Amino acid sequence: MPNHPKAPKFKNVPRHVAIIMDGNGRWAKQRGLPRIEGHRKGVESVRATVEAAGETGVEFLTLYAFSVENWNRPKAEVDTLMRLLQQFLRDEIAELNKHNVRLQAIGRLADLPASVGGQLHETILATSRNTGLTLILALSYSGRIEIIEAVQSVIREIQLGHIDPAQIDETVFSRHLYTRYYPDPDLLIRTSGEMRLSNFLLWQLSYTELFVTPTLWPDFRKPDFYEAVRSYESRNRRYGRI
């Protein structure tokens, strides 16, 4: 995809960037605000990042928005996150269309409240003809559950006689993951300085370049995204070779 005139020029643009958007609660705490204010502010970071990714020429952007483990947070916080998500999905359709962004989602989508699931479906449909950036939201996502569901799906195919166990290799298995339509991420960004994967894309991140920034997600803006891509540009991806 062409590099947008507004974005810096990069020699080597990652095709797929995945982001663990972390630090909303700490951002709010630092300001003596309730955690939800951090989540609210984080929506602005999502907007800026989607624009930056599109303008850079990234093809796929996966955002970890809500994990299966996040259901264990206090009900009031979960309810607020779901409300913010629904609002985002409803209010952002025009903006996504304006920027030619196609929305997709991965995770246990059936776990979402019906109203959120309905809005998600609507926004996916309303943006399905866009040909620019593909924005993938990970919602009620768990990397281990994704792998288990893929195993179950492979077993069903075997039982139906559609595949022979001897044929199962990485390519065949990958076709049973939520991410079957997307390439593996080239670059993973995590904000707020935490050095862990938190159950995100465990299979897909095998050879992904990692970039951890101390910046809290609500403060993350276009220059932070460009900094991560700059860092990616200078990496030497060896895949075990020399």
- 40 scored as a contact of ligand IPE (CB under 6 A): no
Smallest gap from Cβ 200 to ligand IPE, in A, equals 7
Strands 187-190 and 16-20: parallel
Closest CB to ligand IPE among residues 5, 74? 74
Token pair belonging to 88: 């985002």
Q: Residue 62: beta bridge partners?
A: 18, 136
Number of residues that bind ligand IPE (CB under 6 A): 18
Smallest gap from Cβ 45 to ligand IPE, in A, equals 10
Part of the chain binding Mg ion (CB under 5 A), chosen from 3-11, 20-28, 38-46, 215-223: 20-28
Cα–Cα distance, 206 to 186 (Å, whole number): 10
Among 194, 214, 223, 230, indicate the residue that binds ligand IPE (CB under 6 A). 194
Token pair belonging to 90: 């409803």
100 noted as active-site residue: no
> What are the residue ranges of helices labelled H in the chain?
24-30, 35-56, 75-91, 93-98, 114-126, 143-159, 170-174, 222-233
- Least Cα distance to 50 among 79, 21, 84 occurs for 21
Of the residues 70, 97, 100, 130, which is catalytic? 70
CB 2 within 8 A of CB 10: no
Closest CB to ligand IPE among residues 4, 83? 83
Rounded to an integer, what is the distance from CA 220 to the centroid of its chain?
15
Cα–Cα distance, 241 to 87 (Å, whole number): 47
DSSP annotation of 203 reads T
Closest CB to ligand IPE among residues 23, 54? 23
Among 7, 17, 18, 21, indicate the residue that binds ligand IPE (CB under 6 A). 21
Closest CB to Mg ion among residues 74, 240? 74
- 22 scored as a contact of Mg ion (CB under 5 A): yes
Smallest gap from Cβ 140 to ligand IPE, in A, equals 10
Amino acid at 183: P
Residues 68-107, one symbol each (x = binds ligand IPE by CB under 6 A, - = not), give --x----------x--------------------------
- 25 scored as a contact of ligand IPE (CB under 6 A): yes
181 in helix, strand or coil?
coil
Residues lying near Mg ion in the complex (CB under 5 A): 22
Active-site residues, by number, are 22, 70
